[in-house]
Structure 1
Amino acid sequence: MKPVSVMRLPLATDLSGFVKLLVRLQVPHRVSEESGQQVLWAMDEAMAADILDLYQRFPDGNADIDLGHYQPRPGLSRPTLAQQVRACPATALVLVICFIVAAVTLLGDNLDALHWLTFQDFSFDSERLYFLPLGASLDAGQWWRLFTPMLLHFGVLHLAMNALWYWELGKRVEILQGRINLVGLTLLFGLLSNTAQFWYSGPTLFGGLSGVLYGLLGHVFVYQWLAPNNVYRMPRGVMVMMLVWLLACMTPLVSVFGQIANAAHVGGLLVGCVTGLLGGAFARRKLRA
């Protein structure tokens, strides 16, 4: 389902108060600039009608109103999971693919399926894996290997944690910057974090969305710092927690639970900060134009 345009207003119109009200009501929305106007988008026709009704009543947001005395219409209640999926299909699709890959590979136990998706192909016997040169796979046209490790997960907890964070961060990027940008960033972060891990660790088995997650986290944080917006606004404690976890993963305390793709985490975060810098600077320039 495609987003629906609620209204188009001049760039001089201050929507910040109304947007804050939508955030307080937990109403999915997006504001973009097109042809010299700012456009407010909703997830579907019903939601668009309710948002327009709300704007006619509280155009300035009325931040001081007591929402306890305001009974929103049904369309303005917290969106269901199905509504969120319809509004963020690219985010949902990436997760569905991860779940399918997890089922096919048996979370890493099915080596016959797993070797088709790893950064380096490998053969195996009952004792060990034998990795083949990456160049040989690329010469054979297996370029997908540069990206597909991000789809691999090695345990239920590994998959669950990555899926939850991708759902949280991916939705934000898709709502604010669109599904094409989300897919592009996901592939970029996957490619570069996989490459960083291969460069650092050499022939080894690694996978997971965590490199992409750190890329999205860096992107959202820096973008929001340069061009503040409600969609990318996250508690600073989230960033602190993720950075603390990044550092903790580099210590023996966490490594006892298994190998951690630290280079992928760091590589994704650095690239995400760069894309956030570029995207945020462009958005800030547009706002000032």
Structure 2
Amino acid sequence: MSIVAVLRLPLAVDLSGFVQLLQRMHVPHRVSEEAGEQVLWVPDAISEDVRSLYERYPAGDPEHQLDIPAAHANIQRPGFVEQLRHSPVTALILLLSMIVGAVTLLGENLDTMHWLTFLEFRVVGEYIHFTPLADSLAAGQWWRLVTPMLIHFGILHLAMNGMWYWELGRRIESRQGSINLLGLTLLFSLVSNYAQYYYGGPTLFGGLSGVLYGLLGHCWIYQLLSPNPAYRLPRGVLVMMLVWLLLCMSGLISMIGFGEIANAAHVGGLLVGCLTGLLGGLYSRRRLSVQ
């Protein structure tokens, strides 16, 4: 099923009412921003119906379910492969995480894992000796600043982080583009990794969770300043993530057997994510106000 751009409108045009109408009618769609315009994408098979619907009800219709033909109203949402095609960076990060998980045996294979950790290390007997970060950087191993995000310790760790990155990453990629998602992912990884190193000292840590809290903070603040359906997270999701952060910081999660939690990485990611959301949201709102 091919996806086509059915509407291209200035950013100043409020599409929220019409998007809510499409959501209520279960019409598969997505909205992106390209070259200073907002673009509405729908399956090719119903593009003419959606275009006609917008001509009649550009602000939506709060009272009735409108009459897209029944044959089209039941079209399924884009399949998994179609979603992958429209979210290449999200898919790439998840694929790399799975490859690293397989190569490192989910944290069990130290011989391969030491190439990706924040600090290079070697095992001597029962002890781990870490190489100072400055020595690794002087040797050109700059990738270590971000690659810990690809390391996971256990299948549950990988599955949970992968699920949330799939959810949040696709939102940002559809709203701000693949390059911006890649840049934000690398930035959040850098800040959260360094925060954990600065606070916790030379230890083994890894995972996408610092990046996830960055993506969460970015969507949260951006949406407050420049509302858009792509960043409209259910309130329960935000509350759950923040409560989980507080529980981890309290030490309760570690006490009940979940292992050590990289709390500094979570907090660092959340703070820098709120900052990028603030800057991005203010910039988006300013662009809307001058058009």
Give the alignment's TM-score, normalised by structure 1.
0.90
Per the alignment, residue 153 of structure 1 pairs with 152
SS at match of 1:231: helix
SS at match of 1:250: helix
1:185 partner amino acid: L
The answer to whether the Cα contact below 8 Å between 1:192 and 1:267 also exists between their aligned partners in 2 is: yes
What fraction of aligned residue pairs are identical, expressed as a percent?
59
Per the alignment, residue 79 of structure 1 pairs with 78
Matched, 1:201 2:196: no
Mapped to 2, the partners of 1:186 and 1:47 lie a distance apart of 35
The answer to whether the Cα contact below 8 Å between 2:210 and 2:267 also exists between their aligned partners in 1 is: yes
Matched, 1:277 2:278: yes
SS at match of 1:249: helix
Mapped to 2, the partners of 1:47 and 1:147 lie a distance apart of 43
SS at match of 1:64: coil
Q: CA deviation at 1:64?
A: 2.1
Unaligned runs of 5+ in 1: none
Q: How many residues are aligned here?
A: 287
Distance verdict in 2 for CA 1:164–1:101, change over 3 Å: same
Q: CA deviation at 1:49?
A: 5.5
Q: CA deviation at 1:54?
A: 4.5
Between 1:249-258 and 1:112-121, the stretch displaced more is 249-258
Matched, 1:7 2:7: yes
SS at match of 1:130: strand
Per the alignment, residue 174 of structure 1 pairs with 173
SS at match of 2:70: coil
For residues 150-174 of structure 1, the C-alpha deviation after alignment (integer angstroms, 9 at most, x for no partner) is 0000001100000000000001000
Mapped to 1, the partners of 2:243 and 2:234 lie a distance apart of 15
Q: CA deviation at 1:65?
A: 1.9
The answer to whether the Cα contact below 8 Å between 2:3 and 2:43 also exists between their aligned partners in 1 is: yes
Distance verdict in 2 for CA 1:3–1:170, change over 3 Å: farther
Mapped to 1, the partners of 2:122 and 2:259 lie a distance apart of 22
SS at match of 1:238: helix
Mapped to 2, the partners of 1:126 and 1:46 lie a distance apart of 64
Q: CA deviation at 1:285?
A: 1.1
Mapped to 2, the partners of 1:198 and 1:14 lie a distance apart of 44
Distance verdict in 2 for CA 1:253–1:160, change over 3 Å: same
Mapped to 2, the partners of 1:112 and 1:26 lie a distance apart of 50
Give the alignment's TM-score, normalised by structure 2.
0.90
Unaligned runs of 5+ in 2: none
Q: Which residues of 2 match residues 89-238 of structure 1 at below 5 A?
A: 89-238=88-237
For residues 87-133 of structure 1, the C-alpha deviation after alignment (integer angstroms, 9 at most, x for no partner) is 11111111000000000000011111000000000000341211111
The answer to whether the Cα contact below 8 Å between 2:6 and 2:42 also exists between their aligned partners in 1 is: no
SS at match of 1:30: strand
